[in-house]
């Protein structure tokens, strides 16, 4: 099915979307016609009636037919085909139909039925003779192995979840209680490896499955054993603990966005999460101040606000409270022309959908990423939305200029930033230090863009001369001053590439990005793309320091969090993984910044090697104990890949800190883009810690209040703030371990 090479993302991606699961359809499977109506791009129908909830409800209803990740409309037809006497009379036809049905059942989470039908297909193999290629028979066995492993996950990691579930290396309470699924999967994987000893994905899964039954490493045959060092780095670090259940935020759903802020104005951080499932609603968790949360989604006005692949935040109307933008339709192509939602906060954590009144609902394009900044310097926040164009459907991205009256006007074409590529991440940053925010756009399967702000309302793409056009399989964008030299750097995650075939039928082949991932873990040569770490040289160019900093690894990343988890003043990275199929059991990675010179892998010691798919990741002090915790919106996009969100509590114990909330009481300007320089004396040496006000990552929104680690210094010599309008303000002799509100022009900060 997927053997024919396609050079552009659109055609190949549409083929991939028909496959999606670990148990993909066989090459000769019966085609099942589907109806895939899409919203009119002009926003006709429900859009013109300005009824967002009715529009979203209609999308949810149609998702059974048109959503290739969650739709279940085909299953009834497939079951009828399997039961057709003409099917059962032909072993080959019946075998193919059983595999096709099982793939769809597994995709939507009917795991028991999928296992049963794959076992029935396996029993037919002796009757197939030479009518079916051996490669397809091998693929079917791999499908069964993955289905067994998923069966085991459902019975243990989901149904019997513990704080150590799905964390590599799997140990203690993370070991499965019900081991039937894993042990059946192990038997199938060993049989595959006996015939195909170089099947790297089967080898990887064998080692993971052996961990789940307490048999790793000694219980894995030496020829197929993966050394423990390949699963994570050896950097020492205090161990985090998943406390999501105790905190009340372990929502089980598909992956989506996450945003943390004090939305209700009580001084305590709250949490908003979304789900890519078009039938799931937006959720609001109000912080109590003790590390626990109370869900108040209905009170927040979220009833009927369904779906959302990502959430970003900003005070777009300058009234002093933080509003929300929900993005929808990602990865769905033409069927993803779903509306975005602009939610205006009344200051008490109650939101009103003002999308259409604000001028953001005239057209609907699939999107997963957006960012706010005052690009034209007029004092209010503008909005860039990166849309997902593809071959033959060049949905342009949008630059919405804030008109200052609660409405926006799309000026992307005139500004030169409309594009039409498949955008997966966007970030504003003043890379050249001229005081104007520039725009970085991460394009999937196309070169990335760095749009330099010319100051006259237009932009020029300088990505190639600046040296930041890669990776091609780009995804999440993270900004931060990783070496603390005063210039904002970039980390651009890489995910599954689509410029080459990854599977023939269902067989994971040597070109698979998953095989690249495993080869990279084993130290073998690989052509897989790594994320890119770009150091800003301060002269309009960036240096690729990916290898020098130790982050030249194939990770297939999803959400990425940025923050200072050890309070040493240097920004760290938590990279989530997000291969879509069930075989994608890949641990997240914690990169700890060592002195602004390199990153070290502290995943194993920190207990952060979570195996489930990751979407929005947020770093914030959610329990108020003086260190940044990690919230991870977990779960894939497949209907059966829901998982409980995790909240990793930071054990702390090292480093002083400041938390700075910047407020402009005079002009109502947002602090987004304000620059902070904190000077400390540590071990007799003076050094500066730099921050820029923003949410940090394009997939997971940190609070706009900025977290600054002070290391061993118990106070800051100076805190210098350069506000977005260019005015500067300096505070002196600021004691550490405090949360401060800094008012522009004020004499002293307040706690």
Average pLDDT by stretches of 10, the chain with 751 residues: 32 35 34 34 40 95 95 95 92 97 96 98 96 94 97 95 95 96 98 95 97 97 94 90 98 97 97 98 97 98 97 96 97 95 96 96 96 97 95 91 97 95 96 98 95 98 98 96 98 76 37 86 92 98 98 96 98 94 95 98 96 96 97 96 97 93 83 97 96 97 98 97 94 97 79 71
CA 325/CA 274 separation, integer angstroms: 11
Q: How is residue 404 written in tokens?
A: 């200052």
Render 433-450 in DSSP notation, one character per residue: SSSS-EEEEEEBTS--EE
CA 193/CA 683 separation, integer angstroms: 55
Instruction: Give the number of other Cβ atoms within 10 Å of residue 714's Cβ.
Output: 11
CB environment 738-750: b (16+ within 10 A), e (fewer)? bbbebbbeeeebe
CA 155/CA 147 separation, integer angstroms: 12
CA 354/CA 372 separation, integer angstroms: 17
CA 234/CA 653 separation, integer angstroms: 20
CA 431/CA 234 separation, integer angstroms: 34
Which pLDDT value is given to residue 508? Answer: 42
In 3D, which of 115, 28, 14, 144 has the Cα closest to residue 68?
Answer: 14
Which pLDDT value is given to residue 498? Answer: 56
CA 513/CA 16 separation, integer angstroms: 13
Contact 182, 547 (CB under 8 A): no
Could you tell me how many residues make up the chain? Answer: 751
Q: Would you say the C-alpha torsion 551, 552, 553, 558 has a positive or negative sign?
A: positive
The single-letter DSSP state of residue 242 is E
CA 626/CA 605 separation, integer angstroms: 21
Residue recorded with tokens 């953001």: 360
Which pLDDT value is given to residue 717? Answer: 97
Which pLDDT value is given to residue 666? Answer: 67
Q: How is residue 64 written in tokens?
A: 């059974």
- SS3 state at 87: helix
Contact 596, 690 (CB under 8 A): no
CA 634/CA 256 separation, integer angstroms: 8
Strand pairing class (675-682; 715-722): antiparallel
Longest dimension (CA), the chain: 86
Q: Which residues neighbour 558 within 8 Å (Cβ) at sequence distance 6 or greater? A: 255, 475, 476, 493, 495, 576, 577, 578, 613, 614, 615, 699
Contact 663, 742 (CB under 8 A): yes
Render 27-44 in DSSP notation, one character per residue: TTPPP---------TT--
Count CA atoms within 13 Å of residue 27 on its CB side. 17
Contact 453, 375 (CB under 8 A): yes
CA 256/CA 676 separation, integer angstroms: 30
Residue recorded with tokens 């970030």: 427
Strand pairing class (656-663; 706-711): antiparallel
CA 160/CA 707 separation, integer angstroms: 35
Residue recorded with tokens 């919203």: 39
Tell me how far CA of residue 544 lies from CA of 439, 480, 598, in angstroms.
19, 15, 13
The H or E element spanning position 402 is strand 398-402
Residue recorded with tokens 């004090």: 262
Contact 336, 388 (CB under 8 A): yes
Render 688-735 in DSSP notation, one character per residue: EEEEESS-BBSSSB--SSEEEEEET-SEEEEEEEE-TTS-EEEEEEEE
Tell me how far CA of residue 653 lies from CA of 271, 538, 552, 568, 702, in angstroms.
25, 35, 30, 11, 22
In sequence order, the β-bridge partners of residue 675 are 692, 722
In 3D, which of 342, 321, 318 has the Cα closest to residue 265?
Answer: 321
CA 474/CA 235 separation, integer angstroms: 27
φ, ψ dihedrals at 3, nearest 5°? -75, -30
CA 468/CA 464 separation, integer angstroms: 6
CA 720/CA 692 separation, integer angstroms: 12
Rounded (10°) angle between helices 134-153 and 91-108: 30
The H or E element spanning position 743 is strand 738-743
CA 72/CA 66 separation, integer angstroms: 9
φ, ψ dihedrals at 120, nearest 5°? -65, -40
In 3D, which of 88, 148, 91 has the Cα closest to residue 124?
Answer: 91
CA 267, distance to chain mean position in Å, is 27
CA 384/CA 327 separation, integer angstroms: 12
CA 375/CA 172 separation, integer angstroms: 51
């Amino acid at each position: 099915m997927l053997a024919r090479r396609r050079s552009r993302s659109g055609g190949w991606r549409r083929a991939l979307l028909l496959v999606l699961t670990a148990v993909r359809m066989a090459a000769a499977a019966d085609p099942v016609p589907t109806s895939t109506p899409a919203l009119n791009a002009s926003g006709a129908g429900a859009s013109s009636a300005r009824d967002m909830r009715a529009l979203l409800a209609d999308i949810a209803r149609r998702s059974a037919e048109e959503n290739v990740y969650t739709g279940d409309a085909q299953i009834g037809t497939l079951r009828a085909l399997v039961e057709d006497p003409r099917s059962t009379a032909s072993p080959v036809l019946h075998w193919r139909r059983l595999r096709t049905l099982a793939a769809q059942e597994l995709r939507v989470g009917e795991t028991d039925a999928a296992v049963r039908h794959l076992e029935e297909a396996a029993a037919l193999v002796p009757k197939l003779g030479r009518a079916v290629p051996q490669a397809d028979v091998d693929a079917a066995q791999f499908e069964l192995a993955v289905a067994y492993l998923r069966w085991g996950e459902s019975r243990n990691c989901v149904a019997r979840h513990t704080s150590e579930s799905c964390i590599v290396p799997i140990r203690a309470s993370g070991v499965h209680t019900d081991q039937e699924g894993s042990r059946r999967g192990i038997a199938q994987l060993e049989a595959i490896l006996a015939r195909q000893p170089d099947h790297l994905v089967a080898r990887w899964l064998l080692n993971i499955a052996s961990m789940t039954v307490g048999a790793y490493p000694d219980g894995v045959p030496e020829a197929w054993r993966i050394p423990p060092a390949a699963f994570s780095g050896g950097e020492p670090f205090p161990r985090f603990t998943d406390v999501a259940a105790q905190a009340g935020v372990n929502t089980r759903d598909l992956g989506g966005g996450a945003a943390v802020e004090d939305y209700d104005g009580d001084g305590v951080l709250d949490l908003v999460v979304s789900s890519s499932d078009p039938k799931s609603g937006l959720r609001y968790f109000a912080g109590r101040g003790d590390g626990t949360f109370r869900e108040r989604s209905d009170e927040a006005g979220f009833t009927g606000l369904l779906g959302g692949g990502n959430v970003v935040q900003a005070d777009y109307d300058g009234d002093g409270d933080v509003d929300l933008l929900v993005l929808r339709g990602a990865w769905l192509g033409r069927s993803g022309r779903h509306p975005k939602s602009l939610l205006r906060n009344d200051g008490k954590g109650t939101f009103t959908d003002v999308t259409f009144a604000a001028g953001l609902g005239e057209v609907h394009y699939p999107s997963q990423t957006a960012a706010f900044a005052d690009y034209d310097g007029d004092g209010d926040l503008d909005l860039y939305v990166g849309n997902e164009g593809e071959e033959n459907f060049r949905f342009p991205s949008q630059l919405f200029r804030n008109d200052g009256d609660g409405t926006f006007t799309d000026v992307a074409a005139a500004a030169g930033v409309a594009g039409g590529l498949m955008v997966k991440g966007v970030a504003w940053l003043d890379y050249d230090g001229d005081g104007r925010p520039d725009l970085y756009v991460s394009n999937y399967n196309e070169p990335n863009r760095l749009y330099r702000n010319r100051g006259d309302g237009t932009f020029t793409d300088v990505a190639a001369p600046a040296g930041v056009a890669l990776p091609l399989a780009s995804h999440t964008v993270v900004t931060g001053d990783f070496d603390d030299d005063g210039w904002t750097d970039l980390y651009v995650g890489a995910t599954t590439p689509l410029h080459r075939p990854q599977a023939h039928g269902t067989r994971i082949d040597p070109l698979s990005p998953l095989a690249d991932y495993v080869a990279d873990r084993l130290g073998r040569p690989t052509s897989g793309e790594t994320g890119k770490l770009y150091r800003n040289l301060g002269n309009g160019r960036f240096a690729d320091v990916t290898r020098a900093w130790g982050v030249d690894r194939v990770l297939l990343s999803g959400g990425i969090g940025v923050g200072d988890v050890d309070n040493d003043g240097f920004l760290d990275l938590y990279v989530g993984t997000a291969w879509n199929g069930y075989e994608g059991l890949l641990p997240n990675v914690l990169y700890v910044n060592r002195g602004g010179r390199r990153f070290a892998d502290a995943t194993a010691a920190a207990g952060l090697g979570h195996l489930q798919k990751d979407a929005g990741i947020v770093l914030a002090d959610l329990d108020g104990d003086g260190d940044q915790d990690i919230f991870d919106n977990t779960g894939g996009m497949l209907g059966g890949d829901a998982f409980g969100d995790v909240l990793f509590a930071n054990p702390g114990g090292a480093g002083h800190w400041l938390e700075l909330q910047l407020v402009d009481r005079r002009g109502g300007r947002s602090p987004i883009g304000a620059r902070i320089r904190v000077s400390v004396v540590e071990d007799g040496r003076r050094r500066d810690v730099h921050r820029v006000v923003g949410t940090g990552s394009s997939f997971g929104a940190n609070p706009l209040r900025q977290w600054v680690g002070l290391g061993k210094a118990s106070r800051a010599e100076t805190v210098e703030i350069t506000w977005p309008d260019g005015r500067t303000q300096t505070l002196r002799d600021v004691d550490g371990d405090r949360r401060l509100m800094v008012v522009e022009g004020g004499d002293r900060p307040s706690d």
